[in-house]
Amino acid sequence: MELNERADIDTSQIEDGRGSGGGGGIGGLPIGGGGLAGIVVTLIVALVGGYFGISGLSGPGGESTGQPLTQCSDDAQKLQVLECRNGLYVTSIQNYWAKQFPESFGEQYQPARTHLFSGNVRTACGAADSGVGPFYCPADSKVYIDLTFYQVLAKQLGAPGEFAQPYVLAHEYGHHVQNVLGTEAEMRRRQERDPGSANQESVKLELQADCYAGAWAHSAANTTDKDGDKIFTSLTDADIQEGIQTAGQIGDDALQGRGGGEVNPEQFTHGTSEQRQKWFRVGWESGDPTRCDTFKAGAVS
Ligand SMILES: [Zn+2]
């Protein structure tokens, strides 16, 4: 996988809300032994018990604000910087949906910003800390990520491949697509009517987000910036396999097993590794988001 250094990052879609220091890039991100272990424990609990963090949010919410990514304007250096590469992934994902969304769903796509934070953040969905992992907040239509999550993904969850990063972002933007379409709101109403179905409904929502991520992956190599420059100069099937591998590493069964406890399917909220890989593949192989109908009767058993 290689990114095109001439491609422009749409920095208007990224808010940098990390500490007063702001940037720092790869070298500036903390890699603490004990601290990282602490993050992993909470993350796994949240991934298993919550909805990529959403239902795990608590405390007062608020409006998240941040600065534009000014450090991403230098063509020569920007792709060395983690947040800039992620900014370019976001550009690719959103430019894909700007084109695909009307074709698939007959409506305009509404862009959603990604908010970078470190430690903790206030969102319209409540307060969150890094332990919940990346998440999407439907109430303010933003993707939230502490980029140190990628170290957890690589070192603790066994998904070190570079494509793991755009996969995670594409999954979160899949939740945004669900928000724009009203899929997420409908699901919540069904969960309220029938609380016993809540986890199964959550699994379907998560698998659909994986499928949407796969649909983006299908077309990612063709995505362009605002000037028409390709965003990826190289993206192979082997790269995509890293995305599938990531999906396999964060299935509920894999996470529960790694957490040391017994694997209990009734507590699944995201789907098994096999289901997550399967639905990513449905999107990737078809390139057709309308095929991602995990809510259809019998689609997910
Ligand atoms: Zn999710």
Please tell me the distance between residue 207's alpha carbon and the centre of ligand 1 in angstroms.
Answer: 8
pLDDT of residue 61: 76
Most distant CA atoms of the chain, gap in Å: 54
**Measured between alpha carbons, how far is residue 96 from residues 109, 147, 177, 178, 299 in Å?**
10, 22, 12, 15, 26
CB under 8 Å to 140, separation ≥6 — which residues? Answer: 63, 64, 123, 124, 125
Please tell me the distance between residue 136's alpha carbon and the centre of ligand 1 in angstroms.
Answer: 8
Contact yes or no for 119/147 (Cβ under 8 A): no
**Measured between alpha carbons, how far is residue 225 from residues 75, 96, 193 in Å?**
14, 10, 43
Please tell me the distance between residue 19's alpha carbon and the centre of ligand 1 in angstroms.
Answer: 26
pLDDT of residue 170: 96
pLDDT of residue 261: 67
Residue type, 53: G
| Cα three-residue angle 234-237-238, rounded to 5 degrees | 90
Contact yes or no for 15/67 (Cβ under 8 A): yes
Annotate 221-254 with DSSP letters as a single string: TT-B-TTS-BSEEE--HHHHHHHHHHHHHTSHHH
Stretch among 27-36, 58-67, 212-221, 228-237 having the lowest mean pLDDT: 27-36
Question: What number of residues does the chain have?
Answer: 301
Helix residue ranges per DSSP H, 82-235? 82-105, 149-151, 164-181, 183-193, 198-220
CA 3 to chain centre: 19
Contact yes or no for 178/204 (Cβ under 8 A): no
Please tell me the distance between residue 150's alpha carbon and the centre of ligand 1 in angstroms.
Answer: 16
For residue range 251-298, what is the model confidence (pLDDT) as tens digits?
888 777 777 667 778 778 888 889 999 999 999 999 999 999 999 989
For residue range 42-61, what is the model confidence (pLDDT) as tens digits?
333 334 333 343 445 666 67
Please tell me the distance between residue 90's alpha carbon and the centre of ligand 1 in angstroms.
Answer: 16
Please tell me the distance between residue 74's alpha carbon and the centre of ligand 1 in angstroms.
Answer: 33
For residue range 111-126, what is the model confidence (pLDDT) as tens digits?
999 999 999 899 998 8
pLDDT of residue 74: 73
- At residue 53, what are phi and psi to the nearest 5 degrees? 105, -30
272/248 Cα distance (integer angstroms): 8
Please tell me the distance between residue 114's alpha carbon and the centre of ligand 1 in angstroms.
Answer: 15
Q: What integer is the mean pLDDT of 176-184?
A: 96
**Partners of 144 in beta bridges:** 115, 135
Stretch among 12-26, 44-58, 210-224 having the lowest mean pLDDT: 44-58
Please tell me the distance between residue 210's alpha carbon and the centre of ligand 1 in angstroms.
Answer: 8
224/63 Cα distance (integer angstroms): 31
State the pLDDT confidence band at 39, using cuts at 50, 70 and 90. very low
Q: What integer is the mean pLDDT of 161-172?
A: 93
Residue 167 confidence (pLDDT) above 50: yes
The per-residue pLDDT of the chain, averaged, comes to: 84
For residue range 57-114, what is the model confidence (pLDDT) as tens digits?
666 678 888 888 878 887 778 899 999 999 999 999 999 999 999 999 999 999 999 9
- Mode of pairing for the β-strands spanning 142-145 and 120-123: unpaired
Contact yes or no for 222/288 (Cβ under 8 A): no
pLDDT of residue 62: 81
pLDDT of residue 45: 35
Please tell me the distance between residue 21's alpha carbon and the centre of ligand 1 in angstroms.
Answer: 29
Q: What percent of the chain has pLDDT over 90?
A: 56
- At residue 94, what are phi and psi to the nearest 5 degrees? -75, -35
